[in-house]
Amino acid sequence: MNSTAEVGYSFGSKYWGCGYATEALRRVLEYLLNDCGFYLIEADYISGNPASGRVMEKAGMHRDAILRERGYNKYTNERNDTIVYSIKRDEL
């Protein structure tokens, strides 16, 4: 299969910092790439949320691009860069 897919995640704050996001993302990537046969999986986060980028790195994803000021935070009224990561089947 040559298809690609995008993943995202959100955990309750009570459970942050326990490694759950990394563990879950690794397993989901394995499932999509190995079991489902996707060619490439991508994910992105906004620059104001570095913990999310760290999760992508720890799961083995690679930084592809920085899309300048593509994200808008309505609570802070600020624009953030969007950081794009991906992983291919042969990089797992």
22 contacts ligand COA (rule: CB under 6 A): yes
Question: Binding residue for ligand COA (CB under 6 A) from 21, 61, 84, 87?
Answer: 21
Q: What number of residues does the chain have?
A: 92
Of 49, 29, 48, 52, whose CA–CA distance to 40 is shortest?
29
Helix or strand (DSSP H, E) at 53 = helix 50-58
- Over the window 41 to 60, marking each residue x when it contacts ligand COA by CB under 6 A and - when it does not, the resulting string is ----x---xxxx-xx-----
Among 1, 2, 14, 17, binds ligand COA (CB under 6 A): 17
